[in-house]
């Protein structure tokens, strides 16, 4: 599994220099770290810190701890976004904004009414930039972990990525439960949120997801664009279950 989070083995203090190597050096590479850049890391006491890269070599790096955050930068809820591939620049927007909101993984899939990756790449090759978009959003939002961005070419393969325990939500504009009511009954540690393409899901796709345990939900009476729906549902889930709260320290469960 790809290493994408820098976790030290001991506590640190502001103004201290720390050296990393091996898997931690690889995690720094995944986060796009370079000399002079600022990176979020976690010390051995579980505190998230901000470090500036002072020196860099292929085998090791030296970081200066410039700040220690009062609360974690990563959410307590694990949100996996499954997004049917939209057209134009919308996928990049979804990756950027949902990463800022704290999504843990983004699975891009081909649905019946969505464009295929081959069709989109034929117009303009962009998929190779998806992980880079996530890395930049992580740096901007001071997160400690880079969410993986994965494309799966079939619906059934996408469902295989949702076999773990968790609340499974299908955004369905033709009907479904109120999201607020669903969240009153559940307080999961992991949520799978499935967002359709322009034109929505077919009835067969809805039935397939129901067999996999997905609950159809609505976000209201207005029809949202696919990128808007993805950003909104992740924001709501973080507010209700995660760390997007008006108070500094969200309530514990």
State the chain's mean pLDDT as an integer.
Answer: 88
Greater confidence, 118 or 104? 104
Q: Determine the pLDDT at residue 252.
A: 44
Provide, rounded to the nearest whole percent, the portion of the chain with pLDDT above 70.
91
Fold classification of 78-241 (topology level)? Alpha/beta knot (3.40.1280)
253: pLDDT strictly greater than 70: no
Burial class (CB in 10 A: 0-12, 13-18, 19+), 46: exposed
| CATH 3.40.1280.10 boundaries in the chain | 78-241
Which tens digits make up the pLDDT trace of 156-187? 889 999 999 999 999 988 878 889 999 999 88
The domain 17-68 having CATH identifier 2.40.240.20: the answer here is: yes
| CATH 2.40.240.20 boundaries in the chain | 17-68
Which residues have a Cβ under 8 Å from the Cβ of 173 and sit 6 or more positions away? Answer: 200, 218, 223
Q: Determine the pLDDT at residue 111.
A: 80
Tell me the pTM: 0.85
Which tens digits make up the pLDDT trace of 54-106? 999 999 999 999 999 988 889 999 999 999 988 777 899 999 999 999 999 99
Which tens digits make up the pLDDT trace of 192-217? 999 988 878 888 888 888 889 999 99
Please, which pLDDT band fits residue 124 given cuts at 50, 70 and 90? low
Nearest to 217 by CA among 163, 170, 253: 170
For 88-179, strand residue ranges (E) read 105-109, 148-152, 167-171, 177-178
* Longest Cα–Cα distance in the chain: 58
């Amino acid at each position: 599994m790809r290493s994408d989070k820098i976790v030290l083995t001991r506590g640190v203090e502001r103004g201290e220099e720390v050296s990393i190597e091996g898997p931690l050096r690889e995690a720094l590479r995944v986060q796009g770290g370079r000399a002079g850049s600022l990176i979020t890391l976690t010390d051995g006491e579980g505190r998230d810190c901000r470090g500036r890269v002072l020196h860099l070599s292929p085998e090791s790096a030296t970081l200066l701890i410039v700040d220690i955050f009062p609360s974690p930068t990563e959410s307590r809820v694990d949100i996996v976004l499954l997004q049917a591939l939209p057209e134009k620049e919308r996928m990049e927007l979804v990756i950027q904004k949902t990463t800022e909101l704290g999504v843990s993984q983004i699975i891009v899939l081909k649905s019946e009414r969505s464009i295929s990756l081959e069709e989109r790449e034929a117009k303009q090759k962009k998929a190779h930039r998806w992980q880079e978009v996530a890395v930049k959003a992580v740096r901007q939002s001071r997160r400690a972990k880079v969410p993986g961005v994965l494309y799966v070419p079939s619906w059934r393969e996408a469902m295989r990525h949702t076999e773990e325990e968790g609340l499974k939500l299908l955004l369905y504009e033709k009907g479904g439960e109120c999201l607020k009511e669903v969240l009153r009954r559940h307080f999961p540690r992991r949520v799978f949120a499935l967002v359709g393409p322009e034109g929505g899901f077919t009835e067969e796709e809805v039935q397939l997801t129901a067999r996999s345990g997905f609950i159809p939900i609505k976000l209201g009476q207005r029809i949202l664009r696919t990128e808007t729906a993805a950003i909104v549902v992740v924001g709501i889930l973080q507010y209700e279950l995660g760390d997007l709260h008006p108070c500094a320290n969200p309530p514990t469960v």
